[in-house]
C-alpha cells in the first residue's frame, strides 16, 4: 500500500469512526440519504436498473424487486454503469490476473467461489476499493487494532491465495512497510503454516474458523508459539465450541467478522462482543424464502443487501443466501443494530428422509468430540461423517449419536458412516465446510 492509498483509507476510516458517536436516528437518516443517491445513480447510468425500477422511483426500498447472482451475471453488461465494460472481457482478464492487477488499469475484480452455482464477478473502482479497505479496517479497530502510521501491526492471514479471491486482493493491496503482512494458503500442510507463523510472530491472526481451530490445537500442544493481540475469524460459521477452543489457546478474545465478496464487511464484533452491523455501508434486510421480513430474533432464509457505496456495479436488494438473525432490542455501546447469530448459508440445510435438517443437528452430536474437526457429507441421502485428528473415538457410537440426533429432527433411518481422516478436505479457496453435498466441487485433502 502506498502512502496515498493509506492516507485515503485512514481518512475514510476516520469518517466512518465519527459515525460511531451518532445517535441511532442519525444513522437511519444517513442510510436514507445514501440509498436515494445510489438509486438515482443506478437508474441514470445502468440500463438494467433503469428498466427494473421503472415506475418505482418513489417507492420505498422494500418495494423494489430483488436481484439474484444469476440475474446479475446474465445481465452484467447492462448492470454496470461504465458502459465500456463487458463480462467476456472481464472473464478473460481473470484467467491470468494476479492479486495486484487491475482490469483496464482501473478496476479491482473479485470473484465468488461459485459453490452455489455460477460464480459472481464484482468490480470496484479506486473510490469503491477505498471503501472496501476501510470496511475491513473498521473490523480491526473494533478488535483493538488501529493500523496506521503510528501502529503497524504484523498481520497474518490464513485463508486463500487464489488471486481472484477478495481476501487475496485486499492482502496484496495492504501489504507494505506500513502493515507487514503474511498471507498463507489454508490448504498448505499444517506443519508449514505453523513454521511460517512462528517465524513471522503476528500481532493479528486472521483466518477461517476451521483453520483457527486447528492452529489453536497446535498452540495448545506447544508447536505453535505466537502471542497475537487480536484473533479474527471470517468466512466460515463460528461455533461456540470453536470460539472457546481458540480463545483458550491464544488468551485473547476472538473477534467474529461477517463479510462477503459482494459487500465487504457486513458486521463485526465490538470489544463488548456485540455483532454490530455496518449500517452506514450496507443495508441488510433479513427475510424469509418469499422475501418477507422476519421478526427480530428469528432466523431468516436470506439477506437482501444494498451496498451504499456501490457505483460501478450497483447492488440494490441483492440476494445473499445467508441465514442470520437480528437481535431483539438495542445496545448502548454503538448506534448500529446487532445480529444475534449467523448460521451459514441456506444451502447448508440438507434434505434427508423428506425432512429439512439444519446443521445445528450435527453440531449437537459432533461439536464436543475430542477431534481436530468434523465434516458431514450428504451422499444422495446417506451421510458420511469425517473426523480429523481423532485420538481415540468409537466410530459406531458416533454414528449412533448422529442417527439419534437425526431422528429427533424427524429424519429416520438415515444411513450414517464415520471415517477417520488425517485432515478435512478443503475447497479450492481453502474452506472446510461443516456440511456439504457430495456433488460440491472437488475438495482437496
Strand partners, 28: none
Fold of 3-346: Rossmann fold (3.40.50)
Asked if residues 406 and 388 have their Cβ atoms less than 8 Å apart, the reply is: no
Q: Is the pLDDT of residue 89 over 90?
A: yes
* Distance of alpha carbon 429 from alpha carbon 348, whole angstroms: 17
Question: For residue 155, which phi and psi values (nearest 5 degrees)?
Answer: -105, 125
Q: What does the pLDDT read at residue 294?
A: 96
Q: What confidence category does residue 436 fall into, taking pLDDT thresholds of 50, 70 and 90?
A: confident
User: Which of 188-192, 305-309, 359-363 shows the highest mean pLDDT?
Assistant: 305-309
Q: What confidence category does residue 431 fall into, taking pLDDT thresholds of 50, 70 and 90?
A: confident
Asked if residues 415 and 382 have their Cβ atoms less than 8 Å apart, the reply is: yes
Average pLDDT (7-30) is: 94
CATH architecture of 349-437: 2-Layer Sandwich (3.30)
Q: Is the pLDDT of residue 149 over 60?
A: no
Angle, helices 3-19/24-45, rounded to nearest 10 degrees: 130
Average pLDDT (324-338) is: 90
E strands of 310-405, at which residues?
318-320, 322-326, 338-345, 350-352, 355-357, 373-379, 382-388
* Better-predicted residue by pLDDT, 2 or 207: 207
* Better-predicted residue by pLDDT, 406 or 314: 314
* Distance of alpha carbon 124 from alpha carbon 106, whole angstroms: 8
Q: Is the pLDDT of residue 346 over 70?
A: no
Domain residue spans of the chain:
3-346, 349-437
Return left, alpha or beta for 132; rule: phi > 0 is left, psi -120 to 50 is alpha, else beta.
Answer: alpha
Output the nine-digit C-alpha cell for 145: 487494532
Q: What confidence category does residue 444 fall into, taking pLDDT thresholds of 50, 70 and 90?
A: very low
Q: What does the pLDDT read at residue 150?
A: 61
Q: What does the pLDDT read at residue 445?
A: 45
Find the range with the poorest average confidence among 91-95, 178-182, 230-234, 268-272.
Answer: 178-182
Bridging pattern class, strands 264-269 and 275-277: antiparallel
Output the nine-digit C-alpha cell for 171: 492482502
* Distance of alpha carbon 117 from alpha carbon 283, whole angstroms: 24
Q: What confidence category does residue 441 fall into, taking pLDDT thresholds of 50, 70 and 90?
A: very low
Output the nine-digit C-alpha cell for 424: 478435512
Q: What confidence category does residue 358 fall into, taking pLDDT thresholds of 50, 70 and 90?
A: low
> What percent of the chain has a predicted confidence (pLDDT) above 90?
60
Which helix (DSSP H) or strand (DSSP E) does residue 259 occupy?
A: strand 254-260
Question: Which among 431, 429, 430, 426 is positioned nearest to 443, based on CA atoms?
Answer: 426
Q: What does the pLDDT read at residue 439?
A: 59
Average pLDDT (321-329) is: 89
Q: What does the pLDDT read at residue 254?
A: 95
The model's pLDDT over 375-419, given as tens digits with 9 standing for 90+, comes to: 899 998 899 999 987 767 888 999 999 999 888 888 898 999 999
* Better-predicted residue by pLDDT, 341 or 43: 43
Find the range with the poorest average confidence among 75-84, 181-190, 386-395.
Answer: 386-395
Q: What confidence category does residue 13 fall into, taking pLDDT thresholds of 50, 70 and 90?
A: very high
| pTM metric for this prediction | 0.83
The three-state secondary structure class of 50 is: helix
Question: For residue 114, which phi and psi values (nearest 5 degrees)?
Answer: 80, 15
Q: Is the pLDDT of residue 339 over 90?
A: yes
What does pLDDT average to over the chain? Answer: 89
Q: Is the pLDDT of residue 20 over 50?
A: yes
Amino acid at each position: 500500500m502506498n502512502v496515498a492509498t493509506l492516507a485515503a483509507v485512514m481518512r475514510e476510516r476516520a469518517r466512518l469512526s465519527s459515525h460511531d458517536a451518532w445517535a441511532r436516528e442519525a444513522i437511519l437518516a444517513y442510510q436514507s440519504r445514501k440509498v436515494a443517491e445510489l438509486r438515482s445513480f443506478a437508474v441514470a447510468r445502468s440500463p438494467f436498473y433503469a428498466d427494473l425500477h421503472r415506475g418505482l422511483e418513489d417507492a420505498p426500498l422494500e418495494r423494489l424487486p430483488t436481484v439474484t447472482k444469476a440475474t446479475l451475471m446474465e445481465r452484467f453488461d447492462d448492470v454496470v454503469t461504465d458502459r465500456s465494460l463487458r463480462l467476456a472481457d472481464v472473464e478473460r482478464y481473470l484467467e491470468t490476473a494476479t492479486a495486484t492487477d487491475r482490469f483496464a488499469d482501473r478496476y479491482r475484480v473479485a470473484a465468488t467461489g461459485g459453490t452455489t452455482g455460477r460464480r459472481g464477478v464484482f468490480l470496484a473502482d479506486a473510490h469503491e476499493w477505498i471503501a472496501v479497505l476501510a470496511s475491513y479496517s473498521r473490523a480491526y479497530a473494533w478488535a483493538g487494532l488501529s493500523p496506521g502510521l503510528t501502529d503497524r501491526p504484523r498481520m497474518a492471514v490464513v485463508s486463500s491465495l487464489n488471486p481472484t479471491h477478495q481476501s487475496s486482493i485486499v492482502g496484496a493491496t495492504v501489504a507494505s512497510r506500513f502493515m507487514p503482512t503474511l498471507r498463507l494458503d489454508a490448504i498448505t500442510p499444517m506443519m508449514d503454516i505453523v513454521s511460517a507463523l512462528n517465524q513471522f510472530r503476528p500481532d493479528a491472526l486472521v483466518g477461517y474458523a476451521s483453520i483457527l481451530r486447528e492452529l489453536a490445537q497446535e498452540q495448545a500442544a506447544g508447536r505453535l508459539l505466537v502471542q497475537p493481540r487480536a484473533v479474527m475469524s471470517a468466512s466460515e460459521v463460528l461455533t461456540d465450541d470453536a470460539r472457546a477452543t481458540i480463545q483458550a489457546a491464544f488468551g485473547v478474545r476472538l473477534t467474529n467478522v461477517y463479510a462477503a465478496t459482494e459487500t465487504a464487511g457486513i458486521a463485526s464484533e465490538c470489544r463488548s462482543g456485540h455483532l454490530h452491523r455496518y449500517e452506514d455501508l450496507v443495508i441488510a434486510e433479513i427475510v424469509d424464502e418469499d422475501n418477507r421480513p422476519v421478526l427480530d430474533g428469528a432466523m431468516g432464509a436470506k439477506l437482501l443487501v444494498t451496498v451504499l457505496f456501490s457505483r460501478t456495479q450497483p447492488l440494490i436488494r441483492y440476494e445473499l443466501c445467508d441465514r442470520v438473525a437480528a437481535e431483539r432490542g438495542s445496545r448502548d455501546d454503538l448506534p448500529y443494530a446487532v445480529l444475534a447469530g449467523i448460521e451459514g448459508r441456506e444451502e447448508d440445510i440438507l434434505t434427508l428422509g423428506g425432512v429439512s435438517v439444519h446443521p445445528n443437528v450435527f453440531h449437537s452430536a459432533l461439536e464436543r468430540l475430542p477431534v481436530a474437526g468434523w465434516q458431514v457429507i450428504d451422499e444422495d441421502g446417506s451421510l458420511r461423517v469425517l473426523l480429523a485428528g481423532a485420538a481415540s473415538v468409537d466410530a459406531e457410537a458416533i454414528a449412533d449419536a448422529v442417527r439419534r440426533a437425526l431422528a429427533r429432527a424427524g429424519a429416520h433411518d438415515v444411513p450414517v458412516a464415520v471415517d477417520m481422516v488425517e485432515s478435512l478436505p478443503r475447497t479450492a479457496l481453502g474452506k472446510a465446510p461443516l456440511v456439504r453435498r457430495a456433488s460440491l466441487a472437488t475438495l482437496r485433502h
